Amino acid sequence: MKLVKILKYTLYAFMSLYLLMTIINPIAMYGPLGGFGSQAYANLISYGSLTGVAGTIICFNGARVLKSFEENSFSFEVMSNSFKWIGLCLLIALLVHSILYTYLSDAQDEEFFINMFDTTLVLSISGFFFLAISQIIKKADYYKTQNDLTI
């Protein structure tokens, strides 16, 4: 239980850091990057917002799962919904990242597509993994209630 509590507070700390980065980075980099008119500042706001929102949602749902473990009120529904939100958030981040990276990047050579493919592969595998785990947990809950099994 101590490990669960430490992990939960770590996720809350990461969630706070994501929120702070989303708010502070555009303010801090306004002058050095040239303000609203520069492409670098637009990229920073786009990617920073995407990273901040996605990271916050993922950390919050992970902490929610750990909280249910900590309180001994383990709920399959909470866990399934949390994993579903994490998976959807990763897939939405993949879509937005691909669109932004394609249209906001200056150079579109072989290295551009290799970098984009790496990110696309990681985000898509992660997103579909969490969606699959969500459905597995939902089916396990269904079978448990139908067959009165102990899981």
Answer positive or negative: Cα dihedral of 132, 137, 140, 145. Answer: negative
pLDDT at 1 over 80: no
Domains held by the chain: number = 1
Whether the CB-CB separation of 143 and 82 falls below 8 Å is answered with: no
The whole-model pTM stands at: 0.71
Please report, in angstroms and rounded to a whole number, the separation of the first and last CA atoms in the chain. Answer: 19
Write the pLDDT tens digit of every residue in 94-150.
Answer: 888 777 777 766 666 666 666 677 777 888 888 899 889 888 888 888 887 787 656
Write the pLDDT tens digit of every residue in 66-79.
Answer: 887 777 777 788 88
Residue 128: give the domain boundaries. Answer: 2-147
Nearest of 135, 126, 110, 15 to residue 66 by alpha carbon:
15
